[in-house]
Structure 1
């Protein structure tokens, strides 16, 4: 088993806000993040599988890059995640939820179309924090 990884970058804004809470409670829990704010995000996708003897690849990294751009980046870049992104509509736009929703999109395509397995989604929101999701 071998693992390959691709990183793509995008910019997007979000607001951490629970509509069921008061403004005071939102500000208490989310602080400045209760305001609309943006990030320079990084999406890192790791795929695992066996090396194809004909290509030497687990999956062509150019193909993985194209898939990431078409399925995720093109849909989220320069958007307001709370309102503009269909696959996040009605969901809380935390980094954790965002990573899980990305997994739901990429995992089946990678499995069915490219005969590889999505191993990990790493979504970096700031230089100081990120989430990793392994589909568990």
Structure 2
């Protein structure tokens, strides 16, 4: 089995806010990230797939197909969007780095032919990222 990773980038805005909490509690827990106007990040996405090398092509997966899937399922949906207001999966979920990784996994699961989704890593900043290995991991 080989693990293959493809990267993609997108820019998006978000804020952290729990509607069940008071404004004071949101400010205490989330600090300046609770500003409802939001703030932006240049995210880096790494998607790792696992599979066997095709003896004819030498690939685990068609690289153009993987790039196209990431573009269609993630980049075109998230790039230059306000995640809280424009991306359906964050209507009732706080768009933390962790929740973004889970949401991307769910968008990609079952859509990559001839390989199994192994890991989704989302970098919010160079020194902050979240890894997700699937619902049953």
* 1:18 Cα offset (Å): 0.6
Q: Which residue of 1 aligns with 2:92?
A: 90
Runs of 5+ unmatched residues, structure 2: none
TM-score by length of 2: 0.93
* 1:86 Cα offset (Å): 2.1
Q: Which residue of 1 aligns with 2:130?
A: 131
For the residue of structure 2 that corresponds to 1:9, the secondary structure is: strand
Q: Which deviates the most, 69-78 or 82-91? A: 82-91
Q: 1:1-136 to 2 correspondence within 5 Å?
A: 1-35=1-35, 36-110=38-112, 114-135=113-134, 136=137
Distance in 2 between residues matched to 1:13 and 1:102, nearest whole Å: 16
Deviations 1:21-52 (A, max 9, x none): 11111111001111211100001000110001
Distance in 2 between residues matched to 1:52 and 1:81, nearest whole Å: 38
Query: RMSD of the alignment, in Å?
Result: 1.0
* 1:89 Cα offset (Å): 2.6
Structure having the higher helix fraction is 1
Q: Which deviates the most, 55-64 or 42-51? A: 55-64
Deviations 1:97-121 (A, max 9, x none): 11111101112112xxx12101100
* 1:88 Cα offset (Å): 2.7
Q: How many residues were matched structurally?
A: 133
